[in-house]
Amino acid sequence: MLENMDWTSTNPTSFRANNPGMEWAPEPTTFTILKKPHDSHPSIDHLVLLVFEAVLEVVCVSLPGYIIARLGHFDADKQKFLANLNVMLFTPCLIFTKLASQLNADKLIDLAVIPFIFIIQTAVSYMVSILVSKAFRFKKRPANFVTAMGVFGNSNSLPISLVISLSQTLKGLHWDRIPGDNDDEVGARGILYLLIFQQLGQLVRWSWGYHVLLAPKSRYEEYQNETVEEGRYRDRVSQDALIPGLDGNVTTENDSSSSDGSDVYEPAGRTPVAGTSVASPDDSDEEPSTPKRLANKQRKDANSVNGQYVTAGPGDIMTFPRMHELNDPEIPSGIQGYYVRARLGIKRAAASTEQHVIDLSKRTYQRLPRPVQTVLARMWRGWLRTYNFLWEFMNPPLWAMLCAIVVASVPDLQRLFFKEGTFVNNSVTRAVSQSGGVAVPLILVVLGANLARNTQNQTTRDPEEEEIGKKLLVASLISRMLLPTLIMAPILAIFAKYVPVSILDDPIFVIVCFLLTGAPSALQLAQICQINEVYEGVMSKILFQSYVIWILPSTLVLVMMALETVEWAK
């Protein structure tokens, strides 16, 4: 619409895309009413309209998920499945295509400023939450809750959608260091920056946040007597008559327990942390033995050594996994029988080869001198620790990011995947790009369903939550969406003007940083609160207030501050 208007009375259009050496001039379509020479953004009324369009786009995509969930067709199990599917498949595809096509050796060096800014933002939010908690005179547990709400902002669903929308609606976001920059490239760079912030946040959220800030009530000394009484009450309930609602946990339609009996809600995008899994009732040793529990125990015992080499101690003989027992199945007749026999023969040959390798390795190890065995045992234990840490820390988005860095670091690989007309680009890259295009809409649909589930009435069972719930809500909103923005705004402005890092000149990077300073609390915090039973009712109100009530004015202010910072830093 704006492109068809007559701009003959305004300054000529900038030619920086085709003439990168020329001095940059604001594009005339970026202002209509306020025509000051330094303006690089629309007038306030038009900016309100553009931000409202961006937020409304997010709402329109999220609304179907909200409606379907309210109708009862999108329960917690389905939300969990889609969220995990998105993290396992679609989001890695998005990360790979955006990062591998945008990165190069020079940009990798410039991106090192992102962890530094992340540390500053986290430290500011932490100090703000501490001061707010002291002002409200909270004890340790509610103070930790406020800290978690303030420190861990949403860097995934909402900011990504807003960045994509703003890149298509706001003009003047093109980076003058990139000849021929366009809206699609602006959006791609914004997603790149957000994804790096996101992975840093994931690491801290599922370590410090999960184990400390949002720990269960039983971790606090002042609640020990209360939790002991709750345990005594649960012990009085017969284990043979476990009925939902009679074990102290009221089962509602909002409960995230899966239908297979597991009480663990594995959140989407969670970085697995060793030793944090919650045992399901089937795993309890205190419950009577049943065929299902015995089968689960046998399966876990078998998997405890499957695929790993275990060392008993320095210098001891290495214990290797036992070869899988291959029982003869019922072999059908005909062609299908030949196929089954062939597959069984291959499995037996592989198992026999594996056993020969194990025996040979054991004999070789036993013949070595004792000091050499000690050194090898220590090296093997170190490798096992590193191996287990990597598999526990890494998740599909991180693997996709690693692959993208490898491809971007090798120019020949980057051309192979992303140069137009190549076989790999027309097949593999195009397929990955199509899968990546599903990630953001699916994130928003699940976001709408989460809001529907969290806005439903819940039975409050915590007297402390009833007493200080409103204070927790106000303190959390102040610690997340107000005070960090006021403190970080001048810091980001100083960074953009005086720190000699190229991406600080990128307008979309500045907008990303500002959006993250005042973004609502992360949705995954609700999942952690459900797992550890931490102020679930207050958590629901926080999500509704931040994502429904305050998101539009907050986004408007943040975008305006970011655009003013971009103009001032030039």
**Per-residue pLDDT at 16 exceeds 50:** no
Looking at residue 246, its pLDDT comes to 37
The average pLDDT across 154-178 equals: 84
CA distance 335 to 8: 78
Q: Which residues contact 148 (CB under 8 A, 6 or more apart)?
A: 209, 213, 214, 525
Do 404 and 99 contact (CB within 8 A), yes or no?
A: yes
Rounded to whole angstroms, how far apart are CA atoms 458 and 78? 20
Is 118's pLDDT higher than 90? yes
Given this model, what pLDDT does residue 125 score?
96
Share of the chain above pLDDT 70, in %: 71
Q: In sequence order, what are the residues at sequence separation of 6 or more whose Cβ sits closer than 8 angstroms to the Cβ of residue 18?
A: 179, 180
DSSP H helices in 330-457: 335-367, 370-393, 396-409, 411-418, 423-424, 430-436, 439-455
Q: What is the mean pLDDT of residues 44-72?
A: 86
Q: What are the Cα distances from residue 520, in Å, to 126, 190, 227, 349, 483? A: 15, 18, 32, 56, 13
Q: Which has the higher per-residue pLDDT, 9 or 511?
A: 511
Residue 472 has pLDDT above 50, yes or no: yes
Query: How distant, in Å, are the alpha carbons of 131, 146, 469, 547 from that of 128?
Result: 5, 10, 19, 21
Of the two residues 162 and 479, the one the predictor is more confident about is: 479
What is the predicted pLDDT for the residue at 42? 67
Per mean pLDDT, which of 2-11, 15-24, 402-411 is the most reliable?
Answer: 402-411
Residues 6+ apart with CB under 8 A from 328: 344
Q: Which helix (H) or strand (E) holds 561?
A: helix 551-569
Q: Can you tell me the distance from the alpha carbon of 440 to that of 457, in angstroms, rounded to the nearest whole number?
A: 28
Query: Which pLDDT value is given to residue 158?
Result: 81
* Pick from 181-185, 324-328, 506-510, 535-539: least confident: 324-328
> What's the mean pLDDT in 184-194?
87
> Token pair of 318, please?
């290495």
The residue-averaged pLDDT of 540-561 equals 90
d(CA 72, CA 63): 14
Can you tell me the mean pLDDT for 102-120? 86
CB 97 within 8 A of CB 432: yes
Tokens 């940083």 identify what position? 513
pLDDT computed for residue 151 by the predictor: 95
Mean pLDDT computed over 290-300? 45
Residue 226 has what pLDDT?
Answer: 61
pLDDT for res 395: 76
In the chain, pLDDT over 90 holds for what percent of residues? 25
Q: Which residue has the higher pLDDT, 119 or 160?
A: 119
The answer to whether residues 425 and 418 touch, using CB atoms and an 8 Å cutoff, is yes
Mean pLDDT of 236-257: 41
Residue 128: what pLDDT? 96
Report the distance separating Cα 237 and Cα 252, nearest Å: 20
Please give the Cα distance from 275 to 292 (Å, whole number).
23
Among the residue ranges 388-392, 487-491, 516-520, the one predicted with the least confidence is: 388-392
Most confident of 30-34, 69-73, 157-161: 69-73
Q: Yes or no: say if 472 and 141 are a contact pair by the CB < 8 Å rule.
A: no
pLDDT of residue 462: 75
- The yes-or-no verdict on residue 251 having pLDDT over 50 is no
Residue 284, pLDDT score: 36
Mean pLDDT, the chain, whole residue set: 75
The tens digit of pLDDT for each residue in 341-369 reads 788 888 888 888 989 898 898 888 888 89
What local confidence, expressed as pLDDT, does residue 263 receive? 39
- pLDDT mean over 477-499: 94
Q: Per-residue pLDDT averaged across 287-291, rounded?
A: 41
User: What residues are paired with 319 via a beta bridge?
Assistant: 310
Q: How confident is the model at residue 537 (pLDDT cuts 50, 70, 90)?
A: confident
DSSP SS3 for 521: strand
Structure confidence at residue 477 (pLDDT): 95
pLDDT number for residue 313: 42
* pTM for the model: 0.64
- Is 50 exceeded by the pLDDT of residue 260? no
**201 or 285, greater pLDDT:** 201
pLDDT at residue 199, rounded to an integer: 80
Q: What is the C-alpha separation between 509 and 513, in angstroms, rounded? A: 6
All structural domains of the chain, each given as residue ranges with its CATH number in brackets, are 46-216+398-458+466-569 (1.20.1530)
The answer to whether residues 495 and 504 touch, using CB atoms and an 8 Å cutoff, is: yes
Q: Residue 392 burial by CB count (10 A; 0-12/13-18/19+): exposed, middle or buried?
A: middle
Q: Is the pLDDT of residue 120 over 50?
A: yes
The CA distance from 131 to 308, in Å, is 48
